[in-house]
Amino acid sequence: MALAGCATTDVFGDDDTTTEYTLDIDSIDVSPTAYALYDPDEDALFGDPARTALEAILPDGRHTTHGYKPLPDDAYVRHQDAYFQTKHVVTGRDRLARSLVRVERVPEEDVSDDTILIDTLERPSARVLKILHSYTQSDGRGSAAELLYGDSYVLRRPAERDSQLGTGTLDGRVVTMTENGTWAYRIAITTERIVETAYTVFSVQVASSRQAFRDVVFGSRIDAELASDDLPADVVDLLEQTIDRRSTEETAPLTDSFVTLLEALHLRTVNTGVNGKLLWYDGSLYRYGLYVNDPP
């Protein structure tokens, strides 16, 4: 990538500010194609629905779930010698019977010896109760609210429906988040018919060879391609120092080298922060991000 001269520091604000810019760069020790391919989790909670969906859709099938997507959107997967990308579409709504889990706070003085410690439960049940705990403690203002149906968690995934919550064995029991009995909740499980969105997932072939897939990955996932021969020497030094140290920080007014590096990484318009970007530099893959901190 050729750069036409060095940028000036006023691109990133007035020279008299004290805004801090932190650039993080971490090495990724696999090829871009391997990094781009989706591999389901090993566990039953998320992994089993993903594997079931992949088996159904590759190479040209369809798979429908209600209330949740079994696969990430736009994930790249391999089937035999071809490469595909997953796609979800909404194909309707259906009213289904679902188990809903709610919790009610129990005062610490009312916690008895037969309460259940959260860490003794299997993952599907423990995860649901931790989400409800977070929702309750934040009075519904936290991010956990996005996972709930009103104030209830809906058991949708097979591992959830087969869990202790799904079978109803925890209905009416008290669970505590700590060994000393703080943050205790009584569990209530009901069966209700609710309207669930139907998601249908399918796959689209994007490449028929590894080389063709590499071009797809570079066109869709790599955010910056840089070569040391195309960068000014001072920028190469700064980039390689950042890679070695995994991070570098400057306070405005920024040096010309830092500004030029940020522009080469397409970070010129970042005002607060960005993460998870991918860099291909001299034959190696890196993940990078920029954090902008304005002093109070």
Structure confidence by residue, pLDDT tens digits, 207-261: 999 999 999 999 999 999 999 999 999 999 999 999 999 999 999 999 999 999 9
Rg of the chain (C-alpha set): 25
At 64-110, the pLDDT tens digits run: 999 999 999 999 999 999 999 999 999 999 999 999 999 999 998 88
pTM metric for this prediction: 0.88
In whole angstroms, give the CA distance from residue 2 to residue 121.
Answer: 57
CA distance 234 to 242: 12
pLDDT at 274 over 70: yes
Omega into 59 within 30° of 0, i.e. cis?
yes
pLDDT band of residue 182 (cuts 50, 70, 90) is: confident
